[in-house]
Structures are given as C-alpha cells and as structure tokens.
Structure 1
C-alpha cells in the first residue's frame, strides 16, 4: 500500500490557491465595480507576497474577507463613518431610548476613566 506524503511546496500551493479563492469571494461582496477591481488586485498581491514576509496567506485572505464584509456593511448603509469600538461601542449597546447618544457618551467616559484608574493603580502599585 503506497502512501502519499505531501511536500511543503505542495501544501503551500494548496494554501495559496485557497487563499486566492477566499480573496476572490471577498472582493465579489464589494458593492462598487471599481472597488472590487482595486481591492482584488491589492489583496491578490498581498496573498502572493505573504510568504516573503513569513505571513500565512490563508490568514491574510481571511482578514481581507473580514475587511470586505466591513466595507460592504458600511457602503450599504450609505455611511462612511467608522463603527464605534471599545467602551463607546459597549455603551451604545447598553443604552437605548431618547438621548441615547448623550447617555452612551457619558457611560463610555465613565468606563474609560475606570479603565485608566485601573491602569494607574497597576503602574503605581
């Protein structure tokens, strides 16, 4: 019974092909044809050059897919503003109703102050 052992080159070729397929799928999600062409070219070049920088081509392609989803989500809403992260995002999820943004900003500021206070205690303690 013969066993087939995949060489490192064959495995990396498979990873490269899968990564390129992921990048093509990610680019196809983008709403604008010019964006699709631009990002596809950039992401394919990044995937091809990933090995030179000791990066995983597949992980890079998955990151491109995440970026494509983010770009498509903000483009479909017609807004180019960035989504909030950190304490502000948490505050916006917790606070609802009228004057929600004002309350969310207050809660975010309090959370940030609490975080900074904890860091100060770690540094001085």
Structure 2
C-alpha cells in the first residue's frame, strides 16, 4: 500500500515563463514590429551614447500604444544579441518603482560598427493610420 499520493510533476519555471512571454508577444501583432523596432533602436542609441543599457533605459525612451504591456519590450535585445551586436554583461535591480527592484539585464555593445549599420538599415516604423 502506497501512502504517498501521486503529485503532479513540478512545472519547469523557465519553460512556463517563456510560454507566458510568447503569449504576451502574440497579443500585440498590430503594433509588435513597430514597438520592438522602436525598443531595439532605443537600446542601441543608448548604448552608443552611454556604453550600456537596461530595460529601464528602453522603457523611458519608448512610448507604448494604449493597451500594450511593457513586457513586450523584452523582445528587443534577443535578435541584436543573436547578431552579436550586443551582449549581456550582468544584471542590476530595476530602478523603476513599478518593477519592484527585480533584476534586469545589463547589455553592452559588442560591435559598434554593426550597431551603426543596423540602425541605418532599420529605420523607425511609422504608426498605422487611425481608421
């Protein structure tokens, strides 16, 4: 006789977090490309001037459309890091009160010339016309 009940397998927190992030990113199709592009441009411009950047810097620079959560800004660094234009160098506590001092990545430029080239071929995307 087994007295220990069968418990559900523990949820992989990282996998669940990634799943939730992917769902959040799917909710902004009408604005996604424009918002992510704006965030990527803000990230690179801040790094070109200051050397490093965090999500706090991007959040301060990007105006989000009504109803779009700032969580979408987390998509900004991924493609730039995969292109080896930027790299993560650590973490700091967020300086935004609403972020409750959670850790945010600190990014630095890995390739200044590549950053300038990326900005040149990825201009801002205009907001869609109101219908």
Q: TM-score range by the shorter chain?
A: under 0.3
More strand by share: 2
TM-score, normalisation: structure 2: 0.26
TM-score, normalisation: structure 1: 0.27
